[in-house]
Amino acid sequence: MVDERAATHLTARCSLLARHGARRVVIDVSGVARCEPAGLVGLWELHQGRCGLRVRLTGAHWAQFVPALLHSEAEQFEGHYRMIRTVLEEPA
């Protein structure tokens, strides 16, 4: 599961890699069963380069993100939907 804690850990790890000269990282999330809303935001921020690296997710699929959509507040739903599309469809 990717929740806020997991996303924070991934961001810290990617930031460390960036400080050591890495420019890009690929994260395989094919084994992830579900993603919570806070985890989605964290993955999206990583994808957007928040940690100083180009981050690409592989193995991601819509079913992993259904819990994030189901637990989104009504005003957040559209934004979360766009984040999922970005993470799934745009290469980093």
Higher-pLDDT residue of 89 and 6 is: 6
User: pLDDT tier at 21 (50, 70, 90 boundaries)?
Assistant: very high
One-letter-per-residue 3-state SS of the chain: CECHHHHHHHHHHHHHHHHCCCCEEEEECCCCCCECHHHHHHHHHHHCCCCCCEEEEECCCHHHHHHHHHCCCHHHHHHHHHHHHHHHHCCC
Q: How far apart are CA 26 and CA 46, in angstroms?
A: 11
pLDDT of residue 91: 73
Q: What does the pLDDT look like over 24-39, one tens digit per residue?
A: 999 999 999 999 999 9
Model pLDDT for residues 40-54, shown as the tens digit of each residue: 999 999 999 989 999
